């Protein structure tokens, strides 16, 4: 049987010093009596959970109470989780933000509105924004210019909304604006009209002057629906009403209109039937051919 080599105090201290885990020992008077190299680098912050130190590292701390020579001590263990947090941030951005514009995506907007709906007394509006003739921009100027136009539109719209509002790109040439709080329809009209006028101002892209416009449909919570799917369907219907009439405008959803695909007046539907049919419509639109503007 092989003999086990002796492991002395010096070797043990060398191992502790080399550990990537920070170790700091504090006596019952709050005086630090020991810290290994990692503990010094991590900054010796107190408490639990994650904190950032002066070096920009994200450190996770745990505290353990022990007794040494019949006196209480605390051992602070610290772990460098900077890379883990960076990976988590990247996954979060990939899941909830649009790569091209940097705006929140549909999943982020949906989750946020679901949380808002659960708050008592909250009111908000959803504005469905669809760029007019975007396919023609791609066909004439190319997709690089088309992508640049989407980025510029996102920048202009972001500059016009309030800090409490959320602007999201939900796909292709479609954006959605969640306006909250809503003081009145006149207040929403002013914001949406301002957005329309900004989009109609010419864009300078790659030496070309690009003109654009948008058609917008607006729905209100809780008046036009009590789920994200219902509100989206209502705003989408209002937007298509603009497309069918005169593009480049906005209109509010009218619950008395007959919704395409539902075949009956929304006003006549029970809430549970409305939710089911709105969800069916939202699912069906995923399979529709691309719009031509």
Domain containing residue 60: CATH number: 3.30.450.20
Residues 180 and 233 in one domain: yes
Q: Evaluate whether 149 touches 137 at the Cβ level (below 8 Å).
A: yes
Peptide bond into 22 cis (omega under 30): no
Q: Is the pLDDT of residue 143 over 90?
A: yes
Total domains in the chain come to: 2
Residues 176 and 204 in one domain: yes
3 within domain boundaries = no
Given 32, 51, 84, the domain boundary residue is 84
Retrieve residue 1's tokens: 């049987």
Residues 170 and 256 in one domain: yes
Residues 155 and 259 in one domain: yes
Residues 80 and 102 in one domain: no
222 within domain boundaries = yes
- Domain residues for the domain of 13 are 9-84
Q: Is the pLDDT of residue 270 over 60?
A: no
Instruction: State percent of the chain over pLDDT 70.
Output: 81
92 within domain boundaries = no
Residues 104 and 64 in one domain: no
Residues 47 and 118 in one domain: no
CA-closest candidate to residue 74, choices 84, 61, 89, 83: 61
Q: Evaluate whether 207 touches 146 at the Cβ level (below 8 Å).
A: no
- pLDDT higher for 121 or 4? 121
Q: Is the pLDDT of residue 279 over 70?
A: no
CA separation for the pair 208, 214 (Å, rounded): 19
293 within domain boundaries = no
Residue 173 designated active-site: yes
Instruction: State percent of the chain over pLDDT 90.
Output: 60
| DSSP state, residue 223 | T
Given 165, 173, 224, 236, the catalytic residue: 173
89 within domain boundaries = no
Residues 78 and 49 in one domain: yes
2 within domain boundaries = no
Structure confidence by residue, pLDDT tens digits, 61-78: 888 999 888 889 999 899
90 within domain boundaries = no
Average pLDDT of the residues in 266-282:
48
91 within domain boundaries = no
CA-closest candidate to residue 185, choices 127, 247, 263: 127
CA separation for the pair 239, 78 (Å, rounded): 54
Given 34, 63, 84, the domain boundary residue is 84
pLDDT at residue 260 in the model: 44
Contacts of 88 (CB under 8 A, 6+ apart): none
Q: Evaluate whether 171 touches 106 at the Cβ level (below 8 Å).
A: yes
Residues 111 and 61 in one domain: no
The tokens 């607006």 sit on which residue? 218
Residues 38 and 170 in one domain: no
Q: Is the pLDDT of residue 57 over 50?
A: yes
Judging by DSSP bridges, how do beta strands 58-68 and 174-179 pair with one another?
A: unpaired
Q: What is the CATH number of the domain that holds 181?
A: 3.30.70.270
Residues 79 and 105 in one domain: no
pLDDT at residue 288 in the model: 40
pLDDT at residue 69 in the model: 84
Given 84, 105, 133, the domain boundary residue is 84
Retrieve residue 36's tokens: 């290994």
For all residues of the chain together, what is the average pLDDT?
A: 85
Residues 123 and 21 in one domain: no
Distances (CA, A) of 122 to 168, 221, 222: 20, 8, 8
pLDDT at residue 286 in the model: 43
Model confidence at 40, in pLDDT bands (50, 70, 90)? confident
């Amino acid at each position: 049987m092989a003999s086990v080599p002796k492991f002395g105090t010096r070797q043990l201290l060398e191992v502790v010093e080399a550990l990537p885990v920070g170790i700091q020992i504090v006596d019952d008077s709050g005086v630090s009596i020991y810290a290994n190299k990692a503990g010094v680098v991590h900054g010796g912050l107190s408490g639990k959970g994650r904190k950032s130190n002066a070096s920009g590292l994200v450190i996770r701390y745990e505290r353990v109470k022990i007794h040494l020579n019949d006196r209480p001590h605390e051992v602070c263990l610290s772990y460098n989780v900077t890379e883990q947090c960076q990976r988590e941030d990247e996954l979060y951005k990939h899941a909830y933000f649009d790569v091209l514009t940097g705006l929140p995506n549909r999943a982020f907007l949906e989750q946020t509105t679901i949380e808002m709906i659960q708050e008592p007394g909250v009111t908000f509006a959803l504005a469905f924004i669809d760029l007019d003739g975007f396919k023609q921009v791609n066909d004439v100027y190319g997709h690089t210019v088309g992508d640049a136009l989407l980025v510029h539109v996102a920048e202009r719209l972001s500059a016009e909304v309030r800090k409490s509002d959320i602007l999201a790109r939900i796909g292709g040439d479609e954006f959605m604006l969640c306006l909250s709080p809503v003081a009145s329809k006149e207040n929403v009209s002013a914001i949406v009209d301002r957005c329309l006028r900004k989009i109609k101002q010419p864009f300078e892209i790659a030496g070309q002057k690009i003109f654009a416009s948008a058609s917008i449909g607006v729905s209100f919570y809780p008046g036009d629906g009590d789920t994200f799917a219902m509100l989206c369907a209502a705003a989408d219907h209002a937007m298509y009403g603009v497309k069918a009439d005169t593009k480049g405008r906005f209109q509010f959803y009218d619950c008395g209109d007959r919704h395409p695909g539902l075949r009956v007046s929304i006003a006549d539907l029970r809430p549970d039937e409305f939710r089911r049919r709105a969800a069916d419509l939202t699912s069906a639109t995923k399979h529709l051919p691309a719009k031509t503007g």
